[in-house]
Amino acid sequence: MRKNISLLLLLLLLTSSISAIEISRIEPPSWWVGMKNTSLQIMLYGKELKGGRVTTKEKGIRIISVTYGDSDNYIFVEAEILPRLKPGEYSFTVTKENASTEFKYIFEKKGNGGKLTGKGFGPQDMVYLLMPDRFSNGDLSNDSHPDAIERAAYDKPYGRHGGDIKGIINSLDYLKNLGVTAIWSTPLLFDNESSASYHGYACADYYRIDPRFGSNELFKEYVNEAARRDIGIIMDMVPNHSGTAHWWYNDLPFNDWIHKFPKYTQSNFAMSSHADIHASAADNLRCITGWFDTSMPDMNLGNPLLLKYFIQNAVWWTEWAGLSGIRVDTYPYSDKYAVAEWISGILSEYPFMNIVGECWFSTPAEVAYWEGSAINKDGYSSKLPSVMDFPLQEAMGGALMQEGHPGWGEGMFRIYRSLSLDFVYTNPYSLLIFADNHDTNRISETLKGDVSKMKMMLAILATMRGTPQLYYGTEIMLKTKDGKLGHGEERLNMPSEGEFNSEQKEMADFTSKLFQWRKSSKAIHYGNMKHFWPNNNLYVYFREYADEKVMVIINNNTKPLELNWDLYKEAVNGSERGTDLFSGKEIITGALFNVMPQSAYIVSF
């Protein structure tokens, strides 16, 4: 009897020992068979995993290596996924001393993400940028959530206002009618900071949609619903920094997972130090290792396990949800070689994916350095397929506000000059162009709610070289009631279509007509551009492709001007006949044409 009791106690002790191994997180949570890159890194997080041995009986999975973190609670498993592996659920065993535990891992078939997965976006598209918290509230029940620290505060400029994925889904028909073919949303991943979490740029979980926006499954539904309307989804990704509320922040896998300092050290934001031949190494180091903000720890992409973590995260969301493209936040604040490797890792799986980088500089030469195809003197390539044209954005607002007869080099010449510097770019037609976004002042505030100027701006945005991006609410000239500027104040709640006033409806109809027309214009998508020196604040340029030619006329003068056809004879021949998009009137080259003040014409020949 005593012998049996002893055996029972031993069995209980072993059972207790077995249950001591706990795995609370597995990232990425699933993967696919048939991927081009057959190497998979699985991060396990649990209780005292260090020293554990990882095995699997599946012959289609070969474990290459196991790496333990500086923390006792992490294991990184490097596995090779062999071609023989079939979709299904497979078991791995973690053994440590006399204890072991088993975890299941699902492999799906590659290609289930949807028809637009990895298809990219470009000059043929119109990208609509929205902030989900401020766009549309489709589900009142998730405005606050028990897993989230910050609760809804509808009346606070920097509070949560309740917008969500359901609201975006409900608005997809409106966006399609507006001419949108791609949607870029500011981050939808969980941001669990205690204040100002609405913007989403301080991630708390790279594999979870913020529960106040919805769920991972709802996000996939959103991507699929958009694809049904031929709208691709661009995901905003932030490899440069996470949030202090991230689940790993208080138990980092490695001591060098983030950049640490004896006391808080912010980036000096000296992005130009990357290309500056005179820059000190100290300035560059401070730029790429300093924190972006007190709540945003700077990630060390020089750690190869972290770099692979981020590559796989981007691939996971692309494949799992069916993303068309990616926008990268604060690209030049990272180690430029490591972040370029991140881009390469994504493109190796999705070679047609467009990834646009936020490289916020005021001069074309600085922006051009970050083109992936740039031939830089230092040999650097960012690998980015596209970058954002901040110089043109700054020129547009300044140009349109200088009406009448401004001095030499002012007014519409600002736009002309910005475009005249396109020679520094390898491919200026790949740039993302915009008049405003979530980080700038609204263009409607810059142009002081002037309807005529807003229409001129939209006409330029729709016909200029590059891929146009429209910020939510710009199509209705959304602006603050009291003129107070700032991030929280200008990131306004978008009214529903039924709430538009007469002026907003006029602007929305104008925008819809403009961008619906743009969808079918190959000259705008693919045509070369020729522009002419702006005389009397009159800016004229042409886009031409095959047998289609488009003439754009922007009169930012306060007086009507007679068009002097002789100035444009190298772009038009004889008595060509065209039609103005807005008035529907026939325009005959060489004939008398009075261009009305503060107006735009788009003439198709």
Segment 365-379 shows an average pLDDT of: 97
pLDDT at position 556: 97
| CB contact set of 146 (below 8 Å; sequence gap of 6+) | none
User: Quick one: DSSP state of residue 429?
Assistant: G
pLDDT at position 18: 44
pLDDT digits (tens, 9 = 90+) for 313-366: 999 999 999 999 999 999 999 999 999 999 999 999 999 999 999 999 999 999
pLDDT digits (tens, 9 = 90+) for 276-321: 999 999 999 999 999 999 999 999 999 999 999 999 999 999 999 9
pLDDT at position 5: 37
Token digits of residue 290? 């300093």
Number of residues in the chain: 605
pLDDT at position 6: 40
We find that the CATH architecture of domain 527-604 is: Sandwich (2.60)
Residue corresponding to tokens 């998009």: 581
pLDDT digits (tens, 9 = 90+) for 479-491: 999 888 999 999 9
pLDDT digits (tens, 9 = 90+) for 557-590: 999 999 999 999 999 988 899 999 999 999 999 9
| Integer Cα distance of 421 and 39 in angstroms | 43
Residue 7 reports pLDDT greater than 70? no
Average pLDDT taken over every residue of the chain: 95
| Integer Cα distance of 154 and 2 in angstroms | 69
Domain 2-108 has CATH 3.90.550.10: no
| Integer Cα distance of 212 and 196 in angstroms | 13
Residue 478 reports pLDDT greater than 50? yes
pLDDT digits (tens, 9 = 90+) for 78-88: 999 999 999 99
pLDDT at position 17: 40
| Integer Cα distance of 553 and 566 in angstroms | 15
> How many Cα atoms sit within 13 Å of 289 on the Cβ side?
15
Segment 363-382 shows an average pLDDT of: 97
pLDDT at position 304: 98
- 527-604 and 127-244+302-525 share a CATH fold: no
Q: Are strands 127-130 and 182-185 parallel, antiparallel or unpaired?
A: parallel
pLDDT digits (tens, 9 = 90+) for 198-246: 999 999 999 999 999 999 999 999 999 999 999 999 999 999 999 999 9
pLDDT at position 187: 98
Question: Which CATH code fits 127-244+302-525?
Answer: 3.20.20.80
Residue 1 reports pLDDT greater than 50? no
Token digits of residue 485? 């500027």
What phi-psi label fits residue 449: left (phi over 0), alpha (psi between -120 and 50 degrees) or beta? left
What phi-psi label fits residue 36: left (phi over 0), alpha (psi between -120 and 50 degrees) or beta? alpha
Segment 250-258 shows an average pLDDT of: 98
Segment 171-180 shows an average pLDDT of: 98
pLDDT digits (tens, 9 = 90+) for 94-103: 999 889 999 9
What distance lies between CA 269 and its chain's CA centroid?
20
pLDDT at position 21: 87
Q: Which helix (H) or strand (E) holds 19?
A: helix 2-19
Residues marked as catalytic? 329, 358
pLDDT digits (tens, 9 = 90+) for 391-419: 999 999 999 999 988 888 899 999 999 99
DSSP labels, 382-408? ---SEEB-HHHHHHHHHHHHS-SSPPT
Residue 9 reports pLDDT greater than 70? no
Segment 417-446 shows an average pLDDT of: 98
Residue 33 reports pLDDT greater than 90? yes
Segment 37-59 shows an average pLDDT of: 96
Q: Are strands 99-109 and 31-33 parallel, antiparallel or unpaired?
A: parallel
pLDDT at position 404: 84
pLDDT digits (tens, 9 = 90+) for 145-157: 999 999 999 999 9
Segment 451-463 shows an average pLDDT of: 98
Phi, psi of 31 (to 5 degrees): -150, -170
Residue 3 reports pLDDT greater than 80? no
Whether the bond between 187 and the residue before it is cis, its omega within 30 degrees of 0, is no
pLDDT digits (tens, 9 = 90+) for 513-530: 999 999 999 999 999 999
Give the relative orientation of helices 451-463 and 502-518 as an angle to the nearest 10 degrees: 20
Which residue type sits at 510?
A: F
Per-domain residue ranges of the chain: 2-108, 127-244+302-525, 527-604
